[in-house]
Structure 1
C-alpha cells in the first residue's frame, strides 16, 4: 500500500466523538480487553490450579495434597509409565522426523509438496482417530493385513494394546515436530559451506556427516524435547490403547479418577496435573537452553538447495512414497475399510461393501448433534481468536506496548501445558458460580468454548506476530502522522496485509478444535457432545464400525478445510501453512 494512499485514507475523519475516543481512550480500552481475555480464559484458571495443587490436605498439612497424591501406587506407576513412554516416543519421532527431513530437504525429489503434506499429516489427524486407524490395521480382522496372512490370529490381543504400541503411535504423531525443526535448520545452511566441502573433495556422505548433521544437531535435540513434551500431555493414544491394555499414564489416570469420583477429587488430580506441568515445563526449559548454547552461527547467503538425485530420483521418490504410505495412508485405508463393512470381522468385498455405517452416523441424533457442536465451537474459536490476535500482535510488535508484550510471553501457556491440565483448570474455576452472576458455565458449551479460546490462540497469534514484525514502519508512521488512531491503523493498514495469515491460522484452529478430545473428554456433558468424544465413546462401547465411520466423515471435513486454506493462502502467506514450507524463501522459512 503506497504511503500516499495510507495518508489519504487516514484523513477520512471519523465522527468527532468516536475520533476523540479512539485518540484518547481507545488504546486503553483495546489493551484492557485483550489483557482481560488472556487472563480470564487461560492464566487465571492455570494459576488457580497451581494454587490448589500446593494447598493443604483435609488434615491441614502443608503440601498435604502432594504427599497424599503420590502415596498412591497407581500414581507412582502412572508417573513412571509417562516418563518412559514419552522418552521412547521421542526417540521414534527423532528417527522418523530426522530421516524424512533430510530426504525431503536435501534431495530434489518429484512431488515434494505432496510428500511434505503426508509427512505432516499426523499433525492434522487427531490422536484418537490415528489410534483407531492403527487398531484396525493391526487387529485380527485387519482388512489390510488379514488377506496377506499377517494379522494376529483371532482371539489374540491386538499388539498395540501395550506400552510399546503407545510409544510407537505417539512417536508417529509427534514426528512432524522433529521434521519441522530439522527442516528449518536445513534451510538455514548456506550453499557456500557445502560447496567448499565439495571443492575439498568430500562426497555426499562425508558432507552429510561432517557439515550438515552437526549444524542441524541443535534442531534435532530441540525437536526431540518438543516431541517429549507433547507426548507427556497426550491423551487420545493412551486412552484408546492404554486403558484396554492396562497401561496407565498420568493423563488417563486423571480422566479415570474424575470419571469415577467426580469433582471431590479435584485437589488430588490437580497434583497429578502439576506433575505433567513440571515434566513438560522442564523439557521446554531444557530446549530453550540447548537452542541458545548449541546454536551454530551460519553466514548469510544463498540457502543450500539440496543434492541432485540423478538416476536415483524416481527410485528414491517411489521408496519414500511407499514408506510414507505405510505410515500414514495404510492405517487410514484400514479405517475406511472397517467403516464399509456391516460388522467387525467381515471381510470387505463387493458383496459386503455397505454405506450403512455412514447412514447410521448421519441419521443418529446424538452424532449429528456432536457434529453440529464441534462445527459451531471450532468456527467460533477460530473467528474469536483471529479477531483478538489481530490487535494483540499489532500492539506487541508495532506499538510495543509493555503490558501486552509481557502477556504475549504468557499467552502460549495454555497451549504448552497438557490439555488435561487446562481442562482441570477450567473445572476448578468455572464449576462454582461466576462472581456477581451467580451462574456456573460448567456442563455447558460455554466452558468448552472458553477452553478452546485459551488453548488455540497461539495458532493464529504467532503467524500474525510474524507479519506484524515484518510490517514496513513507514506505512504505520505515515498514518500516525496523518492523525489516524490505533484502531484505524489496525483496520486499514495491518488487517489487509495480515488477512492471509489470519485466515490460515483460523483454519488451523478450526481443523484442530473440530476433532479435539483432550479438553472435551473432561468438559463435555449431555447435549454438548463433540466429534472427538463420540469417536472415543463408540470405540469404548465396542462399536468399531460406527467409530470408523464417524472418523472418516470427520477426516473428510478436515481435509476440505486444509485444501481450502491451501487454496486461499498458497501465494499470499505460504509460511502460515507448514506443508508449504518448501515454497517459502529461505529467510522467511527460517523465521517461520
Structure 2
C-alpha cells in the first residue's frame, strides 16, 4: 500500500482554533480591533500631530498658532455662533415639545413630521434652500411681489443669518429630547395641581419645567454639538459672508495648502474638539444640578387649548410654512429654470437640470453611485457590529466595555471635520502589508463612515436589548451554544426590528453626509454630500438646486418607507414618529 493510500485511510482530525479564539474572548478582540483601529487610533494620531508634530512638545508653536489674530477671531465666532444658535434651538424645540405633548393640538402627528423633517435634510441643502428663498431673485417671493430689491445684500450672508439657520435646523434635536422627558411626567402630580386650582401657566412653570430640566439641557447639548460642527450651513453662509469659524478655516486652509498644513490644522481640530467637550460637559452639569428625575407609566392628560385652538394652530402651521414649505418650494422652483434668477413660468420651466444631474453630468452621477455603495457597505458592516457590541455593552461589565462605549460615542459626538482630519493623518502614510496609503480613495471615506456612524447604529440596538429577557441567552449558553451561535439564532431575531431602524437611520444620515467626507473627497472619490457646495462655488446654482431636490426626495422616500413599517419597529427609535 502506498504512503498516500495509508495517509488517506487515517482518521482526519478537525483543525481546532485555540479556545480563546472561539468564544467571547474572540468577539471582544474583534470589537476592540474594530473600534481601536477606526476610532481610537486616528484620534490619537490627531492629538499626536497637534501636540507633538516633531516628537516633542513645543509650547511656543502652539501659542503662535492659537494666538494668531485670525484663529482667535474664528474661535470667538465659533463660540458665539454655537451658543446663540443653541439658545434659539432650545427655546423653539422646548415650545414645540410642550405644545405637541401636553395639549390637544389638532393634526399633531402631521405637524411633528413636518417639524422633524429639516433634521433629516442635509444641512447644505437646507442652507441652499433658504438662500434661494430669500434672495432678491427668489422665485417664490418674487412671484408674490415680496422679494428684496435687486442688489440688496442677502440677509442670511451674515453672522445673524448663520445663527438663525443653525437654531432652526437644530430645534428638532431639542424637541426630541424634551418630548421624551415630557412623556415620563407623572400624571398624578399634574392632576393634583389642577385639582388644587393651579392654572396651566403655573403648572408648566412650577411643575413641568423643573421636572424636564434634564431633558432640556440634554437637548441643548445635542444642539450645541450639532451647531459647532455643522459644516454645511457654516460654509454655505459663512464663506460668502466672510464670517470665518474654526470649521471653515480648517476646510479652506487644507484646500489651499494640502497635507503640508496637516499638523497646524490638527491643532485647530483639537481646539474645536476641546470646545465641543466643554460645551457638552457644561450642559450636562447644568442638567444634573437640581434635576428631579421622575418616571411614570401613565402619561399626563393633555391640556385643552379651548379658545386658543385656532390662534395656536395658525401660529404653529405658520412656522412650518415659513421654515419648511417656503425654502423647499424655492429650491424646487430654482431647479426648474435654466438660469439663476429667472422667474418660474410656463415659458421658463424645464427638467433639464434634473436630467443633467441624473444622466448627463458624469461627476454627479459617479458621486451618487459612490455614495450609494459606500452607504450600503456601511449599513451592512455596522449593523452586525452594533448587535455584537450591544451584547457586550448591555450584559458585560469591565473597563474594556466602558472604553468601547466611550470610543464609539466620542467619534460620533465630535464634529465630523475632526474625524476627517484624523483619518487623513492616520491613512496618509503607507499602511503595513499593503504598502500604500488610503488617502484620496473611497476606502478612507468608508473607514470614516464606520467610525462616525457606529454610535448611531448602536443606539436603537441598545434599545432593542432592553426588551430582551436575558434568561434566553443564559439557557442557550448552559446548553452549550457558543456566543456566535447565540447571536445568530437568539439575539439577532429578537433585536431585528431595532436593527432595522438602526439601518434606516444610518442609511439616511450617510447617503447625503458632508461633515466628514468634505475633506476626504478627491478626483478619484467623490460623494454626493459635498457636491452641492462644489456646484454652488462653481456658479451652477440651478444644477445645485436640482441635486438638492433629489436629496430631499430620497429622504422623503426613506421616511415614507419607515412609516409604512413603523408599527413593527420599537417605539422611539424613529424620531419622526409621534
Q: Is the 8 A contact 1:133 1:335 kept in 2?
A: yes
- 2:67 paired residue among 58, 68, 71: 71
Q: Write out aligned runs for 1:60-459 (5 A).
A: 62-298=58-294, 300-310=296-306, 312-313=308-309, 316-362=312-358, 363-400=360-397, 402-459=399-456
User: Deviation of residue 44 (structure 1)?
Assistant: 0.6
User: Deviation of residue 114 (structure 1)?
Assistant: 1.9
* Matched residue count: 565
1:467-504 Cα shifts (integer Å, max 9, x gaps): 22331022112212221111111111110111111111
Q: Is the 8 A contact 1:57 1:63 kept in 2?
A: no
| Structure 2 match to 1:471 | 468
The SS at the match of 1:221 is helix
User: Deviation of residue 315 (structure 1)?
Assistant: 5.2
- 1:564 paired residue among 561, 564, 568: 561
1:524-544 Cα shifts (integer Å, max 9, x gaps): 011311111211111111111
1:305-344 Cα shifts (integer Å, max 9, x gaps): 3213345445533432221222122111110010011111
Distance 1:370 1:106, change over 3 A: same
Of 283-292 and 451-460, more deviation after overlay is shown by 283-292
The SS at the match of 1:342 is coil
| Structure 2 match to 1:578 | 575
1:493-522 Cα shifts (integer Å, max 9, x gaps): 110111111111111111111111121210
Distance 1:461 1:56, change over 3 A: closer
User: Deviation of residue 353 (structure 1)?
Assistant: 1.2
| Structure 2 match to 1:498 | 495
User: Deviation of residue 399 (structure 1)?
Assistant: 4.0
Distance 1:85 1:560, change over 3 A: same
The SS at the match of 2:516 is helix
Q: Is the 8 A contact 2:75 2:246 kept in 1?
A: yes
User: Deviation of residue 98 (structure 1)?
Assistant: 1.1
Q: Take 1:65 and 1:56, find their aligned partners in 2: how far apart are those partners?
A: 10
Q: Take 2:297 and 2:154, find their aligned partners in 1: how far apart are those partners?
A: 52
1:399-427 Cα shifts (integer Å, max 9, x gaps): 44652343112211111111111100001
The SS at the match of 2:150 is coil
Q: Is the 8 A contact 2:53 2:263 kept in 1?
A: no
Q: Is the 8 A contact 1:370 1:531 kept in 2?
A: yes
For the aligned residue pairs, the C-alpha RMSD in angstroms reads 2.0
Q: Is the 8 A contact 2:273 2:418 kept in 1?
A: yes
Matched, 1:481 2:514: no
| Structure 2 match to 1:555 | 552
Matched, 1:541 2:534: no
Q: Take 2:95 and 2:307, find their aligned partners in 1: how far apart are those partners?
A: 21
The SS at the match of 2:148 is coil
User: Deviation of residue 288 (structure 1)?
Assistant: 2.6
Q: Take 1:19 and 1:113, find their aligned partners in 2: how far apart are those partners?
A: 57
1:338-375 Cα shifts (integer Å, max 9, x gaps): 00111111111222211111011112111110100111
Q: Is the 8 A contact 2:332 2:549 kept in 1?
A: yes
Q: Is the 8 A contact 2:221 2:284 kept in 1?
A: no
Q: Is the 8 A contact 2:440 2:524 kept in 1?
A: no
Matched, 1:52 2:49: yes
Runs of 4+ in structure 1 off by over 6 angstroms are 18-24
Q: Is the 8 A contact 1:395 1:404 kept in 2?
A: yes
Of 24-33 and 540-549, more deviation after overlay is shown by 24-33
Q: Take 2:164 and 2:541, find their aligned partners in 1: how far apart are those partners?
A: 21
Please give the TM-score of this superposition, normalised by the length of structure 2.
0.94
Distance 1:383 1:566, change over 3 A: farther
1:31-68 Cα shifts (integer Å, max 9, x gaps): 1111111111111101111121112679x762344223
Q: Take 1:82 and 1:398, find their aligned partners in 2: how far apart are those partners?
A: 40
Distance 1:334 1:495, change over 3 A: same
Q: Take 2:118 and 2:290, find their aligned partners in 1: how far apart are those partners?
A: 29
Q: Which runs of 5+ in 1 are unaligned?
A: 1-15, 583-592
| Structure 1 match to 2:506 | 509
The SS at the match of 2:137 is coil
User: Deviation of residue 567 (structure 1)?
Assistant: 2.3
User: Deviation of residue 194 (structure 1)?
Assistant: 0.8
Distance 1:18 1:340, change over 3 A: farther
User: Deviation of residue 285 (structure 1)?
Assistant: 1.5
Q: Is the 8 A contact 1:22 1:485 kept in 2?
A: no
Q: Is the 8 A contact 2:464 2:570 kept in 1?
A: no
Q: Is the 8 A contact 1:443 1:525 kept in 2?
A: yes
